Chains A and B, each alone.
Chain A
Amino acid sequence: MDELLKRLTEAHGVSGDEGEIREILKKEAVNLADEVSIDRMGNLVAFKKGTKGGKKIMLCAHMDEVGLIIHNIADNGTLKFSTVGSIDPRVLISKKVKIGKKKHHGILGLKAIHLQEPEERKTVVKTKQLYIDIGAKSKDEALKIVNLGDYAAFDTDSLPFGQGRIKAKALDDRLGCSILLDLLKNRYPFDLYACFTVQEEIGIRGAGAAAFGIKPSMALIVEGTTCSDVPGVDEHMRSTRLGKGPAITVMDATSYSNKFMVNKLIETAIKENIPYQMKESVTGGNDAGAIHVSGEGIKTAVVSVPCRYIHSPVSVADMNDYYSTSRLVEAFLKGCE
């Protein structure tokens, strides 16, 4: 597996706590960009001057990931938490997390099944029924290790498996971050702003500020998106399919992609012989939602790498989709001259 992608996906960066991932991205970006800055919201912006100047194009990938935040410590030393971003609590049971800057180990626990009331067994588990066990015997002992407000990120090793597939946490949207770094290697005729945004998972909060500051004439969002090409799901409910190439969005819950850009993406894919698919659902949203209505309006489109089991401790992507997405965005940018 690509060494950088492994580092990016294993790094911590739960929404609001993007320090670690931002530092890694920054170190990579300074070697590639002309100027790297961090705005007031915490977005990392890498600027690459164009050979002709004038037009500004913004690429955007969010660096934050879904995770947990500690909000209470029980007398027995276990931690109560809230989810940061949307997570189905069922995917949390018995998973490993790492907490705080020191990355203390924690296990997500749940009362054993034989101790659950018949009613509890029938209903879907709620986040408030779960707790994090950090091996502490008491609240005092726990307080020596963690603080209220500490974040917890999933403890998942990133690994290749199968034929060209990978499993890792935070593929949404470290895949996008990695693609942006890749594209920063080139110099384009126009000014390029590669934005690694904060707090996408808790309501698209970073991207609007970044776009307002940059005022680009066009923005392309590179995402990791939902993929349900698994047994038991009707064909028309699958949204995207693994291995079928980058997914181009026409519309989702937060934006309607600019048609000129969508057509250009499709034309580019066909011309360059890059596989692509149209995203077959309109739910969910991403940074485009804030960017396209920023200021007097910005032309915006979204290209995504399909990811199974998104927003869980471990998701799956196909590296061919990843490379094709990178190629498509690169060819699209070259066509913007």
Chain B
Amino acid sequence: MKELLKKLTLCYGPAGNEEVIRDCIKEEIKDFVDEIKVDVLGNLIAIKRGGGKKVMLAAHMDQIGFMVTHIDENGFIRFSRVGGIFVQNSINSKVVFKDGLVGVVSYESEIEEIKDIKLDKMYIDIGTKNREETQKLVTIGDVAVYSNGFAESNGRYIAQAMDDRAGCALLIETAKRLKSSPHEVYFVFTVQEELGVRGAKTSAYALDPHIGIAVDVTLTGDTPKSKLMAVKMGSGPAIKVKDVLIMAHPKVKELMITRARDAGIPYQMEILEAGGTDAGAIHLTRKGIPSGVLSIPTRYVHSDCEMIDSGDMENGVKLLLKILEEEIEF
């Protein structure tokens, strides 16, 4: 899964601009599903036909980014954030545009305290000398993403956009290893999650599944003096109890716990006090869709070096397979 994860995290795809990552995922999954389609908003829907329950697995393929809003006379770019970009994670970071153009994010240096830096006091420097030069290379509305590469250290993977290419990798790997399922499985790679779980909303409406499971990253409470949170990186995939957008449906939560326990797959329970995932949109669709979330414990979320554990990924695939391979009694 490492090579797949590397490929996906290095691929360009900020929210609203998912064309490249969508093509990449399509290529990776096409041989393992019966049907592939792209809907109006751009969600990629890969279907493994079958009877039983209609199960929707959702991982968002978009990532956070920096949108060009203004080019000044000296060629510097002012930007707005696309999703949850934070000042402290962006100072002097390297970013890249769709065509490979590289820039550095920095701030008006008359500001002395980091806490006084706001995003509208920051800019992207692409090395140009004036407005005309910059205008030849970028236009208002173009989006750059973090560009820190991919690395492995002590069984952990480090890269930008683990949120949620890690989830995308889990879905692809699951489709690849799923030999047979009594269910109809929808592997949905959603758009614009980072802007407010928008792709999940329309795709869930169209598919109208019996069960929805979002696969996304979650925070951890296992670093020095971190905020209190019971999730640890490396202790297995997390089964969500709640976040800001969803109270996981008891039956889906129980299903995940039971399957993990029966198969001896390590897991942990997750309560996330900030943020939400695609499940937040899915469970409120139409007449309501019982939904839950499988989370990958991730350190330094929304930075250019999000860190996950290789074992959590492997166990995540095992758990998804276990859920899909057997009958589901609801």
**Which positions in A face B, CB cutoff 8 Å?**
235-237, 250-251, 254, 256, 262, 278, 280-283, 292-293, 295-299
> Which one of B26-34, B197-205, B313-321 is at the interface?
B197-205
Q: How far is the CA of A299 from the CA of B42 in the complex (A)?
A: 10
In this assembly, does B232 line the interface, its C-beta being within 8 Å of a C-beta of chain A?
no
Known interface pairs A236-B78, A262-B141, A280-B140; A251-B67 also in contact (CB < 8 Å): yes
Write the residues of chain B forming the contact surface with A, with a CB cutoff of 8 angstroms.
15-16, 39-41, 67, 69-70, 72, 78, 80-82, 120, 139-141, 192, 195-196, 198, 201-202, 205-206
Which 9 A-B pairs give the minimum distances between C-beta atoms?
A250-B141, A256-B16, A297-B202, A297-B40, A236-B70, A236-B78, A278-B140, A282-B80, A297-B41
B202 to A, closest residue via Cβ: A297
Knowing A235-B70, A281-B69, the reply to whether A297 touches B39 (Cβ < 8 A) is: yes
Residues of chain A within 8 A of B192, CB atoms compared = 256
Could you tell me the distance between the alpha carbons of A29 and B201 in the complex, rounded to whole angstroms? 34
- A and B contact pairs by CB, cutoff 8 A, 25 listed: A235-B70, A235-B72, A236-B120, A251-B82, A251-B141, A251-B195, A256-B198, A278-B140, A278-B141, A280-B70, A280-B140, A281-B69, A281-B80, A282-B69, A282-B80, A292-B198, A293-B201, A293-B202, A295-B202, A295-B206, A296-B40, A297-B40, A297-B202, A297-B206, A298-B40
Q: A235-B72, A250-B141, A278-B140 are in contact. Are A292 and B67 (CB under 8 A)?
A: no
Q: Are B198 and A293 in contact (CB under 8 A)?
A: yes
Residues in chain B near residue A262, CB distance under 8 A? 141
Contacts of B140 in A (CB 8 A): 250, 278, 280
User: Within 8 Å CB of B202, what residues of A?
Assistant: 293, 295-297
From A236, A282, A295, give the contact of B72 (CB < 8 A).
A236
* 16 extra A-B contacts, CB within 8 A, seeds A237-B120, A256-B192, A280-B69: A235-B70, A236-B70, A236-B72, A251-B67, A254-B196, A256-B15, A278-B139, A281-B69, A281-B80, A282-B67, A282-B82, A293-B41, A293-B198, A293-B202, A296-B40, A297-B206
B40 with A236: CB separation less than 8 A:
no
List residues of chain B with CB within 8 A of the CB of A235. Answer: 70, 72
Q: Which of B67, B78, B205, B206 contacts A250 (CB 8 A)?
A: B67
A296 touches B39 (CB 8 A): yes
CB distance from B99 to the nearest CB of A (A): 15
| Nearest Cβ on chain B to A299's Cβ, whole angstroms | 6
Q: From B15, which residue of chain A is reached at the shortest CB distance?
A: A256
* Nearest-Cβ distance from residue A314 to partner chain B, whole angstroms: 27
